[in-house]
Structure 1
Amino acid sequence: MFEKKTTRIIFFLGSLRAGGKERRLIELLTYLKKKGNYKMMVVLTEDVIHFPDFHKLGVKCTVLEKSLSKYDPTIFYKFYKVCKSFKPNLIHSWGAVQSFYSLPAVKMLNIPLVNSQITAAPPQAMRSSFSKLIDNANFKYSKLIISNSKAGLNAFSPPLEKSKVIYNGINLNRFKNLPTSEEMRSKYGIKTPYAVAMVASISPNKDYDRFVRVAEKVTALRNDVTFIGIGGYCDGDEKYKELVDLTESRPRIVFSGVIDEVEALVNACDIGILFSNKEVHGEGISNSIMEYMSLAKPVIANNAGGTSEILRDKVSGFLVDEESDDELAAMVLELIDNQEKREGFGQKGREIIENVFSLEKMGESFEKAYMQALSSTGYEVETFQEVYSNNF
């Protein structure tokens, strides 16, 4: 057996704020760090890190401060200089803008680009002509284009010969040794026997209005259920202010804002909900749904983007389309009242995560992708094949 060869990779994204693709990258870094044969650097364009676990990894992080505008052209050269210094074997980008910023380094330094910018499945009408031009340039110069859902590939239509789907993987160790449900319920003001959570940023992509309407219907009928919204928002956001104002007269509808203990709070709840705004957004593979299922919680979510690729209707929860608010409220109450169904859906969801969406499966798939991207560069592919053949 040959000795393992160290592969140098730059991961390029906007920030590490709380979000789905950011969590996915943290999981991948965790996996690769344990392998021991990757030299990694994370490059950001905003100095925002919401994940304490990232600092524990010991991966070098560089921030390219923008000095001009949202689309600062100086980043092209700044990123090129980072690549000249670090000498990566691969660039792995995690956003359309970052993929575009990387193109001079990709072309001038002959570095393969693995492009993971497809993380959702937006309606075609929501994609501007400018965005499509950027996407076409990115896809042309990418060695591989990776989507986290089949729906994402259908939405963006990259060249199929260099595109593939790698589903999100989740580190199940995150859900061990959590604080007790009693502790979390007390901390966040949940005083009822049952609780329903929606983990999602307060943004146009998520349908918190629907969540609130369903919550109002259920809490009007029952006094034993609390609904809690968990997720980030922009300072001064009018929607968040509206939601918080609403809770003042409805003590069984709660909004936590950004917290570091999402897993523990979801674990203290009984049902996970995700309503997406299908008019403007389609999910890739939602990290929120993955977290619900990892914690063996039944899920109610609308059929937006790739959600049908992870949530099995009437097996691990309810996949909904045009159901009325009354029908959705009835689904919540059915799961509350039927413990056997609630726990059965939850256990089936956990099995789906273990079998399809594990961190190991995602990590191995990315390693294969890296090997494929490097195969045409003269990199010692035989080393990879010899070392990893038993694992693949």
Structure 2
Amino acid sequence: MKIVFLSDDFPPESFGGAGISTYELAKGVQNAGHEVFVITTVRSEKEASLSDYDGLKVYKIINNYPEKWRAYRGLYNPPVIREVKKILKKINPDVVHANNIHYYLSYHSLKIAKKYSKAVILTFRDTMAITYGKLQTKKYIEDFDVRISWLDNLKQAKKRWNPFRNIIIKSYLTYVDKLFSVSNVLKKALEENGIKNVETLHTGIDTLEYEVSSERENKKIVFFAGRLSEAKGGLVATKVMEKVLKEIPDAIFFTAGTGGKWLNREEMKRTLANSRVILVPSVYLDPFPRAVLEGMAVGKPVVGTCFGGTPEAIVDGVTGYVVNPFNIELMTEKICDLLKDEVKARSLGKAGRERVRDKFNLEQKVKEYLDWYKHLVHIS
């Protein structure tokens, strides 16, 4: 089969979680014997091209616009749509698998995909089909209530609010043959806000890539595998580590990136392997953080948030700990417990690695998607 993946961001220009997950899925499908293409977007003219990335044919469309127009251009982005139409018409794919398209490729690409392919799939990797940013309303943080009102969206969007945005998104979703979510909690959020018939298919990772040996076996490193942003729990992490260092002065705090600096993939793997504990304290509905899976894949215990999809990956007390990130004392206690007890840390880490291999391995997820591709193409 010919399969085209749509993703606003894609390596090597972007190494965000959604882009990496889309890349790994596309590569897995290609390795299974199918012809794979990727359509993505870039911000500079020199990056725009048809290029090869790790054996994948990647069409890079240049586009950029002020964020204030996202509620409109994210629905229909004419310059990009013209290029998407040309590319799909040329390839004539069996399947178009859309991922994050809410910024540049736009939801209108789903309508174009329906015209030029036999089946269209969309994997939701965030809440942007129902929100204007991260889902972190007061009612979600306090009561895990995922319902979003028009007033919630207005407060988040402010002057960027488009009263017809979510209605138009739902109309574009009628061109999709199958909707997937990367976690059960994201599926619940989508369905409780009017996007029905969503099936969960968790992200998978290539566990063989994470068989990395540790170079600092005895170091008490706590690794915050994300940017130090407020939503990702940067403020929480800072407060927690202040308390950890008072109790364990030789503890070391690492972060994956601040400002414009960011660890590349190989550096990330080595840092994960060299750490004692992986910290993922997101304070929003973080759909299914790759950092959790990656930490477990290298055999490290993860102290993760109770918000979003993290509790679907971590088995509390078995592969790590699930903690409300606003409970600074409890999060500090769990981290200190693992820093002081290396045997327990190893035990939880081993259990985590086995869980990733059993439940979240890439090969298994690729097969599940391929089964759906074949089914949808057949019934078309």
Shorter-chain TM-score bucket reads 0.7 to 0.9
**Which position in structure 1 is the counterpart of 2:223?**
197
**Which position in structure 1 is the counterpart of 2:205?**
170
1:230 and 2:236 aligned:
no
- Residue identity in the other structure for 2:120: L
Asked if the contact 1:80/1:104 (under 8 Å) is kept, the reply is no
Residues 195 and 140 (structure 1 numbering): CA distance in 2 closer, same or farther, change over 3 Å? same
In the superposition, the TM-score normalised over structure 2's length comes to: 0.80
1:116 to 119, 123, 133: 123
* Aligned equivalents of 1:203, 1:41: Cα separation in 2: 33
* Aligned equivalents of 1:74, 1:13: Cα separation in 2: 16
1:338 to 325, 330, 341: 341
CA shift digits 1:127-185 (9 cap, x unpaired):
56555234312321110111111111111116544x31111111012123x47524xx9
Pairs aligned (count): 332
1:258 to 263, 282, 301: 263
CA shift digits 1:281-323 (9 cap, x unpaired):
x122210000110111111111111111111111111111266
Displacement of 1:202 after TM fit? 3.8
1:73 to 75, 78, 82: 78
Asked if the contact 1:114/1:142 (under 8 Å) is kept, the reply is yes
Displacement of 1:276 after TM fit? 0.8
**Which position in structure 2 is the counterpart of 1:209?**
235
* Greater gyration radius: 1
Larger RCO (CA under 8 A, 6+ residues apart):
1
Task: List gaps (5 residues or longer) in structure 2.
Answer: 128-133, 136-145, 155-162
**Which position in structure 1 is the counterpart of 2:172?**
138
Asked if the contact 1:11/1:42 (under 8 Å) is kept, the reply is yes
Residues 170 and 9 (structure 1 numbering): CA distance in 2 closer, same or farther, change over 3 Å? same
CA shift digits 1:55-94 (9 cap, x unpaired):
5531111112126666232222221111111111111111
**Which position in structure 1 is the counterpart of 2:140?**
none
* Aligned equivalents of 2:37, 2:325: Cα separation in 1: 45
**Which position in structure 1 is the counterpart of 2:189?**
155
Asked if the contact 2:119/2:377 (under 8 Å) is kept, the reply is yes
1:350 and 2:353 aligned:
yes
Task: List gaps (5 residues or longer) in structure 1.
Answer: 1-6, 186-191, 236-255, 378-392
Residues 68 and 341 (structure 1 numbering): CA distance in 2 closer, same or farther, change over 3 Å? closer
CA shift digits 1:324-382 (9 cap, x unpaired):
322221211111112222111111111110110011111111101212321332xxxxx
- Note the aligned Cα RMSD (angstroms): 2.6
* Aligned equivalents of 1:268, 1:15: Cα separation in 2: 29
**Which position in structure 2 is the counterpart of 1:43?**
39
Give SS of 1:355's match.
helix
- Residue identity in the other structure for 2:205: I
Which stretch of structure 1 is more off in the superposition, 198-207 or 219-228? 198-207
Q: For residues 44-59 of structure 1, what are the structure 2 equivalents within 5 Å?
A: 44-46=40-42, 57-59=54-56
* Aligned equivalents of 1:361, 1:143: Cα separation in 2: 22
**Which position in structure 2 is the counterpart of 1:315?**
318
